[in-house]
Amino acid sequence: MPWPFKRKSLKQIARIEITGAIAGGTRKRVLEALKTVEEKKFPVLLLRIDSPGGTVGDSQEIYSALVRLREKVKIVASFGNISASGGVYIGMGAEHIVANPGTITGSIGVILRGNNIERLLDKIGVSFKVIKSGPYKDILAFDRELTEPEKTILQELIDTSYQQFVQTVAQSR
């Protein structure tokens, strides 16, 4: 049976889902969707986020695009089962955030992980000869330990990213 009342408006709400780990493919898909939301002049965007997080750069780029879009569109973020780390970062681009009591959220932090399988490679007799253009070109190489200067560089990088994250959350909420 058709609705008995005449619609006052033909405006619709846009919906974008961000699920799983946030990486380059996610960024590309979401930025294209945000462009469509802007071009079609949707008045409201519902951003559904169900993500454990992801890469810093991709999360920051999506956040920045949301902040720009927020000048034209009302944005509401809905956190699903989990919205942590990069998911939270992206959510900061919304005017409002809603979540269920059971939503796992938070994890405001940054991590950089590298694997060292040097001992395994030694056991099986595999070694590498490296020629590089600078002292840090093979930083996080899996076949050796980090040097102290490399650890310092990476810690400074992580600390800077973390401060950006904290500042974004503080300014957005």
Report d(CA 112, CA 143) in Å as an integer. Answer: 17
Average pLDDT, the chain: 94
Same domain, 168 and 83: no
Q: Please name which of 19, 84, 71, 23 lies closest in space to residue 45, comparing C-alpha atoms.
A: 71
Active site annotation includes 74: no
- Catalytic residue selected from 28, 41, 132, 137: 137
Same domain, 101 and 122: no
Residue-range definition of the domain harbouring residue 146: 109-173
Same domain, 21 and 85: yes
Give the confidence band of 173 by pLDDT, cuts at 50, 70, 90. confident
- Catalytic residue selected from 59, 85, 107, 151: 85
Give the confidence band of 3 by pLDDT, cuts at 50, 70, 90. low
Q: Is residue 67 part of a domain?
A: yes
pTM attached to this predicted model: 0.86
Q: Is the pLDDT of residue 5 over 90?
A: no
Q: Show which of 85, 107, 129 is a domain's final residue.
A: 107
Average pLDDT over residues 98-113: 94
Average pLDDT over residues 72-91: 97
Q: Is residue 1 part of a domain?
A: no
Query: What is the number of domains present in the chain?
Result: 2
**CATH number for the domain that contains residue 66:** 3.90.226.10
Cα R_g (the chain), whole angstroms: 21
Q: Show which of 59, 84, 107 is a domain's final residue.
A: 107
Q: Is residue 24 part of a domain?
A: yes
Q: Is residue 68 part of a domain?
A: yes
Q: Is residue 6 part of a domain?
A: no
Same domain, 26 and 77: yes
Same domain, 146 and 88: no
- Residues ≥6 apart with Cβ < 8 Å to 165: 56, 89, 108, 109, 110
Give the per-residue pLDDT at 1: 45
Same domain, 28 and 103: yes
Work out the percent of the chain whose per-residue pLDDT is above 70.
94
Q: Please name which of 69, 52, 62 lies closest in space to residue 26, comparing C-alpha atoms.
A: 62
Active site annotation includes 9: no
